[in-house]
Structure 1
């Protein structure tokens, strides 16, 4: 229960802090570039927070599912009793546990991502996550919330495998005395490693999930940002939903390799900051809520227990 509470709070805090930059990332991924600027412009003062409602609620549930799933999977792989410390887990098991829990998050992440991305690329002052959600429900039902679900599940599984692997490996290599500083630095590194490993998949996912706004009978059709409309659909076939593979080929044909990394550096900066805060807050709350599991690096484990195995 402690990991559920800690991860939910940490996840919500991370999304709130990182949403303005995420708006820029998503708009750049869909081809939104404005004259005189290398990033997507904000139309109003509320634009940096477009699409925040779905991630705040969804990411809290996602983070809880992710961390609880990871902890239980790692306990199983390491043959460790429930709620007991794992001072030196195998990094291979860490990656597998992260990948398994990441794949399970697809149930929450796919609907959250499609609502968030569509809210962020609509060019309409009254657009909100709730209106996008209602629009999807009216036109395509439950199935619409899982549009692009395969590439989303693949992205989450690979990405979260590297997420936990990079976090544990970074903690080992740094060997810092302060638990808070260690969590901040290792969390930031883990976030950057994760996004670097799956960024092209994320670009494809974003294109797939936002393409249906053009000529697909959506209630808010025609409200995309003008520059995003010029970019989508990539294959020039209006009114026809394209799959991930078609978008992958289309990106390469129209933009080359650079197209797979649109908004990459914005994402890197956001990832370091957001994941540093999320991990530090999560570890802090876990130490307060469940000291039996986390223990103290100085009091619970000796130097011989602080290594990791491959």
Structure 2
């Protein structure tokens, strides 16, 4: 009788990548549905006129949006970001794991030894750089749909941009998106991993616990910390990015930054920051909790199946 336990079946790298793609996509989709109304308010606050703002604050913007477009107005243009969120999180989680493998190989860190927090932050930053290539066109479409007053949908907008500017038009605002994603993802994964380690250290109850032993509530707490760190850390860059992407004519990072500072000083770079922090906590709590729980459940199912087949 074969005594090999399901847990001893080592998953292949290809299978791990497929898992990250699938589970990251599901987690991203769920998180985006939760955070999207907050994101709509954030973008409207970020992109309003610096000298003559339409909204006094988040609540005023929320009331005006619902009064003008009803509740569906808070979800305007969500189809593009849903796809983007699925791609973003899938690529982030795949990239994060694969870059960790490369770091482990380069540093000759044994498989049983965890990577340092600095190494995990580096892996997160590099994964963010990769995902910025996918995220720039998605966010450009999203931002323009959120602030436009016409009923044009994603398809019409995509055709319009391509007709006027070609493929280059979809990468307007790439530089600030790349800066935000590289730095923000370092904070995202870094704060999440640090929070997990802090929870394990202070709630061990005398036993040895790993990240797999964290409860759903503990995972959500760590995910919320990661989400807040990601959004708040590079918020001024995100404001500049949003304004660059909704402008029709050419605009540079420096020009937009100067315009914001002339109109509202440093406060202009933090319009919608409170709303962003509020929406990032529950959304990212759900993202990490969903990803880890789905991963664990399906991994156990897969390993059990593989073990059963090996006995045939």
**How many angstroms apart in 2 are the aligned matches of 1:70 and 1:141?**
32
2:137–2:170 CA contact under 8 A, matched in 1: yes
| Residues 96, 127 of structure 1: alpha-carbon distance in 2 compared, 3 angstrom cutoff | same
| Structure 2 match to 1:141 | 166
2:45–2:55 CA contact under 8 A, matched in 1: no
Which residue among 144, 147, 150 is the counterpart of 1:121?
A: 147
**How many angstroms apart in 2 are the aligned matches of 1:168 and 1:291?**
23
Within 5 A, what are the aligned runs for 1:55-134?
Answer: 55-79=81-105, 88-124=114-150, 126-134=151-159
| Structure 2 match to 1:254 | 263
| Structure 1 match to 2:175 | 150
Q: Is the counterpart of residue 38 in structure 1 residue 38 in structure 2?
A: no
| Residues 34, 254 of structure 1: alpha-carbon distance in 2 compared, 3 angstrom cutoff | closer
1:85–1:293 CA contact under 8 A, matched in 2: no
Q: Report Cα offsets for 1:13-57 as digits up to 9, x if no partner.
A: 111111111100000001253479532522223211112111101
| Residues 94, 293 of structure 1: alpha-carbon distance in 2 compared, 3 angstrom cutoff | farther
| Residues 44, 2 of structure 1: alpha-carbon distance in 2 compared, 3 angstrom cutoff | same
Within 5 A, what are the aligned runs for 1:286-301?
Answer: 286-291=295-300
Alignment gaps of 5+ in structure 2: 1-17, 204-212, 304-312
**How many angstroms apart in 1 are the aligned matches of 2:245 and 2:160?**
14
- TM-score normalised to the size of structure 2? 0.79
Report how far residue 253 of structure 1 moved: 1.2
4+ runs of 1 displaced by more than 4 Å? Answer: 84-87, 291-294
Q: Report Cα offsets for 1:51-100 as digits up to 9, x if no partner.
A: 211110111011111110000001221239xxx97663211111110111
Which residue among 30, 50, 53 is the counterpart of 2:76?
A: 50
Within 5 A, what are the aligned runs for 1:210-225?
Answer: 210-212=246-248, 216=249
| Residues 73, 44 of structure 1: alpha-carbon distance in 2 compared, 3 angstrom cutoff | same
**How many angstroms apart in 2 are the aligned matches of 1:183 and 1:118?**
34
**How many angstroms apart in 2 are the aligned matches of 1:272 and 1:86?**
32
Q: Report Cα offsets for 1:233-269 as digits up to 9, x if no partner.
A: xxxxxxxx22011111111111100000000000001
2:240–2:253 CA contact under 8 A, matched in 1: yes
| Structure 1 match to 2:221 | 185
**How many angstroms apart in 2 are the aligned matches of 1:58 and 1:284?**
22
**How many angstroms apart in 1 are the aligned matches of 2:302 and 2:188?**
21
| Residues 280, 255 of structure 1: alpha-carbon distance in 2 compared, 3 angstrom cutoff | same
Secondary structure of 2:251's counterpart equals coil
| Structure 1 match to 2:11 | none
**How many angstroms apart in 1 are the aligned matches of 2:74 and 2:111?**
40
Secondary structure of 2:60's counterpart equals coil
| Structure 1 match to 2:251 | 242
**How many angstroms apart in 2 are the aligned matches of 1:7 and 1:155?**
20
1:28–1:263 CA contact under 8 A, matched in 2: yes
1:166–1:186 CA contact under 8 A, matched in 2: yes
| Residues 274, 62 of structure 1: alpha-carbon distance in 2 compared, 3 angstrom cutoff | same
Q: How many residues align?
A: 263
Secondary structure of 1:78's counterpart equals helix
Report the aligned-residue RMSD: 2.2
Secondary structure of 2:83's counterpart equals helix
| Structure 2 match to 1:205 | 241
**How many angstroms apart in 1 are the aligned matches of 2:113 and 2:226?**
19
Secondary structure of 1:242's counterpart equals coil
Structure ID, larger Rg: 2
